[in-house]
Structure formats: C-alpha cells, structure tokens
Structure 1
C-alpha cells in the first residue's frame, strides 16, 4: 500500500495511525490468505452469507471469522450488508477459483512462507546486497524449487495466475507479425503464447522452459492444433533457433544484470540480424508516484536478487546483450513491452 503525501490537514495522530496501519500490513496478508484458503469467495458466489453460515461450511470459529471478514471488508475485500451477511465485491470476485483469470493461485503463492519468511529477511538482504531467500532457505530460489515439487507447483500455478491478466493485454498491445514463429523463452505454462497465437491465427509458436512447467502447459486446445511445440531446456545454455520474434516475459526481472546479460547473449546467438526481442516486464517510472513495479522490485530483490528496471537501464542491458532498444509500449495491465532488435 502506497503512502499518500502529507496533507496540510493531517494531524500528528492521523499520521501515526496511518503509519501503524501500514506497519501492520502483514496481518492483512494473513487475513487475505485465510479467506483464500477457506475459499470464502467461492462460497459467496451464490449470494450473501453470514459468518455463522460460512463458519459452518468451513469448520471454523464464527466470531473469529467475522472479525477477519470485517477487517478485509474495510479494504474492499468483501462487503458487509445491513443484516450482517457478507457478499462479494468486484475485487473479491478475483479470489474465486472458478472464474477466468482467477488470482486465487497468485494469492496463495504470494502469502506462502516462501515469500513471507523472505520478506522478514529484507533487512539482511539490504545489509549484504544479496537475496534474503538463499540466506534463509540454504539454496537459491529456483534450486530450492527443484528439491520441493509441491512448492514448484505452487510457484508455477501462482505465476500463471499472476501473469494471466497481462497475457491478453500484451498480445493485443504488441504488433506481432502476421506470419512466422514466436519463441517464448522461459514461457512457463504458455499463457502468453496461447494469447498471442489466438490473436494472430497464422503465427506458430515454440514454448521453451524447464520440464516442470512444460508438463502442465496450456497450449493443447482445439483452436491451436498444429501451431505450436514445446522444447525443454535452460536459457542460460541455449534457446531454439529460427524464430522471428523472441519473447522474455517476467524473466529478466528475476535476475541481476550479469545473469541477464548471459540470457540475452544466448538469445542473440539463436537470432538472425534484425530479429525482434520482446521483453515484458515493469518499466519503472521516475518520481514518487505509486507503481506496482516498485512493489515487485522489492519482492524480487529479496527472493531472487533480481530487479525491475527503468527504460535507460533496459537500454544499457540490451545493448550489452547485442540488441538495440527501439521502443517501450504500455499495456492495459501492469507490465510494459520493451522492444529490441538484434544487431
């Protein structure tokens, strides 16, 4: 939650309350996780229900549940009516598990101990200039996921959910060619590639990633039959050759600059001169205005030792990898599109 600038009418007591409310924000995450784990939004889909009814359905303590729901309703998650029953709000609809672009898996991922324990180690990350996650869990994030299939699935589900609202926005905002091949490098389960192929019916695609996300890819649909293939591999070693457009969505922000340069050089080695690279990440604006990228920036700092970047930082990074930044395009969602040409 972003803090608004100090207003002339702010009294010291008001400022103290606002600061303390933000300091206690981890309780909001805990309350949101509680509602997500209990599938409260699913249970309200048919209409308002009282805390007693919800408690009976979830085998929980009604007075405690009422207090958690009241806390969430104060921030627009659910709404209490005059009878004391709770109902869905537009934002709470996104917590349902049975709706398109559900954010339930993303909430479960972000409020998991992987993220919560890591956020508690942020001070040490700032002190030492590294990722808090490895200090706490004994291994880098992605290495840890390789040893824990359940957490790997949680992460893959969460990332697919978090990315889902942006997939159509990116596919609609960027002028992909009418024909040719799009290579989605580190594309996870392929939500973006699916959206691109649906927007451009004469394109073909390659979904490139590690085995765990590929095992649950989203491309095997009747409308895309014969237009895609998957390929397993490590983007630090090599990527598929022969593509016309290469996409890196939410890849570079996971890594520090030296690792990003390695990824970019691997992509460049597979690309012909003049081929396009499309980077989908937040592009940080200047100044103090709120921006979701600033939240993500601190998140990836603690977990991966990654970072969000501004346009100048992207230009320098791309140049070191053999590319020239040509333009930055906004989308209707939180990430932007950074286009570059292989030189």
Structure 2
C-alpha cells in the first residue's frame, strides 16, 4: 500500500482531506446514481450496480473502490460493495443528499465552486453564471422541476421555524401582509393559520405552488398568490411586506432595489419585515459555508444586522423592533424619511 493511500503524518492527511476534490466528487456521483440506496440492504458488485444505473462497469468499479479506500463503502472478497457506518449517513433524509445529488438544483449549483478563483480575483463575477451562462434565477424560470426542488428546500427550512415566527410578532395588527418572494407559501400559510383575522398576498416568480398550498389549507378566501418579480414595483397598501430569507440571496445593489420597492409599497405607515439568520455583529461566528454558497450561487452574502440596517437606511427605512424567532431574527422596518435610492 502506498503512502498516498495511508499518509504517515496525520497533519498531511488532514490537509489532503481538506483540499481533495476526488473524494467529494466520487461521493456525489455515488449519491446521484443512488448507490447507497441500492446497497443498503444487499451488497452488490460493480457489474450489478453498473447494469442497474446504466453506467460503465470499469469506471464505476474504480470510483467505488476509491470510496471503499476512503471508508465510505465496504468491499468483500467477492467484490461486493456495501456501506460503512460513515456511508450510511448518505441515507439520512436531512437535506444532505440534496447538496450531493448532481441532478438536483442545489447539487448542480454546487459545481459553480470551480469558479471560486475567478470570483476572488474579480469580486463581481457570479460563479453560477460563469459556469452555466445564465443566472441561477433564470435557470429556475426555464426548468419548472428545478423551481419545485428549490422551493421545497426553502420550505423545509421554514417549516422548522414558522410556528415561532408566527408568535414572535403581532402579525394580525398589520391587517394584510405581502409575502415578497414567498415561494410555495409555507410561511404565509403558517401566519394565516396562527392569526385568523390576517389577510395576505404572496408574490413570487410562479404563483402556482402557493395558490395550491392556500387552496389545500382552506385559506384562499383570505389570501391570494401573484406571479411577479420583487425587482419590479410591488402591490401597494398592505400593512406589512415580508422578506424571508430573501436578502442574503442578492447583491447589495439588488437588495437596495428590493427594499426600495417594499418601502415604496408600504408608504409612511406600513412596515417591512426582514426575516433572516443574521450574524449579530462583525466579530461573531457566522455560517461560512452558507455565506460562500450565497456568493457563488447568486452573488449574495450572509449579512450582519448592522449591514442589513445600513442597506435599509439607504432606501429610507429604519428599524422599529428586533425580535428573535427560533434561530432567526425578525427586523421590523418603517419609513424614516426620504429614500436615498
């Protein structure tokens, strides 16, 4: 066995693990081909797995052999592959397979990281567009199944928090809210259920999923969904305009546009509610993986509360209250004077 397979120095091995692209891509290929599911109950040979997945036997065997050497798979004396305890983690339904499956919207976006050097050098290259020749959002518009996948990923995160968001703020006092970029309606449905007098409108690129969700929840008499873009003027006159996990997906310039449209629609008496997982201050720990994903997928960033306040102030909005909801924050904004857009 060579030193490349078993490095003599633990520090060297750790550095290789941190910088290696081979194992992460091999894992992604295995997940995309559903290899973990295929061998979870019964071990199988590369030939059997290749036949099941319409793959080349020799190449697949070499990939699986590498994963066996990496401790993800087992391989017996008959060449049959199974899962190690580490490999069984690929079966856990907690969202990780979404990032590893190259056919999903998130798995596809992960490949944009090959352009990280271009982004670092330029500061303004959006990696997804550099790889695919179009923006992440334009891609969603062209592929309905990808849009459904993306909305579900966002909804899964919201489901863990919607009940606490619903009780952390007096939503009913707003009368009517517009959920700006509300996806498939998970948040709006939760707010309406918790506040029987509240009415709502949801605006997103495709109103279909939210319309179905409102109908299924029996809430279509109190809310409606509209197809549109928050980069354009919004329906005016609601008591509140909600931006939930929206601002981190966009550049500073685009966030100013989005907040500006919310401010214009809310007017002097309405409120803009920004719900996000803000970093408390510049020195606090932040989710660096998510921050880099925001950068590479969309040209966005995970912002501190102070950075969010500065963007709001640039369009004439000032914080009225800050509330915690689960591990997220609700920042209530109101008009502070003439906008500086």
Partner of 1:120: 114
Q: Within 5 Å, which residues of 2 pair with 1:56-135?
A: 59=52, 68=67, 92-94=91-93, 105=98, 108-112=104-108, 114-116=109-111, 118-130=112-124, 131-135=126-130
Partner of 2:34: 38
- Which of 249, 255, 267 lines up with 1:260 in the alignment? 255
Task: Give yes or no for contact 1:236–1:262 (8 Å, CA) kept in 2.
Answer: yes
How far residue 195 of structure 1 moved from its aligned partner, in angstroms, is 2.2
Partner of 1:320: 314
How far residue 248 of structure 1 moved from its aligned partner, in angstroms, is 0.8
Task: Give yes or no for contact 2:237–2:265 (8 Å, CA) kept in 1.
Answer: yes
SS at match of 2:320: strand
How far residue 123 of structure 1 moved from its aligned partner, in angstroms, is 0.6
Partner of 1:169: 161
- Which of 320, 337, 342 lines up with 2:330 in the alignment? 337
CA gap 1:199/1:29 in 2 versus in 1, 3 angstroms = farther
Partner of 2:23: 27
TM-score, normalised via structure 1 length: 0.74
CA gap 1:182/1:325 in 2 versus in 1, 3 angstroms = same
Partner of 1:302: 296
- Which of 123, 127, 133 lines up with 1:138 in the alignment? 133
Question: What is the CA–CA distance in structure 1 between the aligned matches of 2:177 and 2:29, rounded to whole Å?
Answer: 37
Partner of 2:76: none
SS at match of 2:171: coil
Task: Give yes or no for contact 1:255–1:304 (8 Å, CA) kept in 2.
Answer: yes
Which has the greater radius of gyration? 2
How far residue 330 of structure 1 moved from its aligned partner, in angstroms, is 4.0
How far residue 85 of structure 1 moved from its aligned partner, in angstroms, is 6.3
Task: List per-residue Cα deviations over 1:291-329 (Å, max 9, x = no partner).
Answer: 43x222212222322122111101101111221123444
Task: Give yes or no for contact 1:208–1:231 (8 Å, CA) kept in 2.
Answer: yes
How far residue 91 of structure 1 moved from its aligned partner, in angstroms, is 8.1
Question: What is the CA–CA distance in structure 1 between the aligned matches of 2:322 and 2:16, rounded to whole Å?
Answer: 38
Task: Give yes or no for contact 1:30–1:111 (8 Å, CA) kept in 2.
Answer: no
Task: List per-residue Cα deviations over 1:273-308 (Å, max 9, x = no partner).
Answer: 24222212331254474x43x222212222322122
Q: What count of residue pairs does the alignment treat as equivalent? A: 304
How far residue 338 of structure 1 moved from its aligned partner, in angstroms, is 2.7
Q: Within 5 Å, which residues of 2 pair with 1:173-188?
A: 173=165, 174-178=168-172, 180-188=175-183
Task: Give yes or no for contact 1:322–1:342 (8 Å, CA) kept in 2.
Answer: yes
Task: Give yes or no for contact 1:185–1:235 (8 Å, CA) kept in 2.
Answer: yes
How far residue 246 of structure 1 moved from its aligned partner, in angstroms, is 1.2
TM-score, normalised via structure 2 length: 0.74
CA gap 1:23/1:227 in 2 versus in 1, 3 angstroms = same
Structure 1 residues without counterparts, runs of 5 or longer: 1-11, 75-83, 96-101
SS at match of 2:152: helix
Task: List per-residue Cα deviations over 1:58-109 (Å, max 9, x = no partner).
Answer: 82579765874895859xxxxxxxxx667897884325xxxxxx66556532
SS at match of 1:341: strand
How far residue 171 of structure 1 moved from its aligned partner, in angstroms, is 4.1
SS at match of 1:242: coil
CA gap 1:165/1:256 in 2 versus in 1, 3 angstroms = closer
Partner of 2:243: 248
Task: Give yes or no for contact 1:170–1:337 (8 Å, CA) kept in 2.
Answer: no
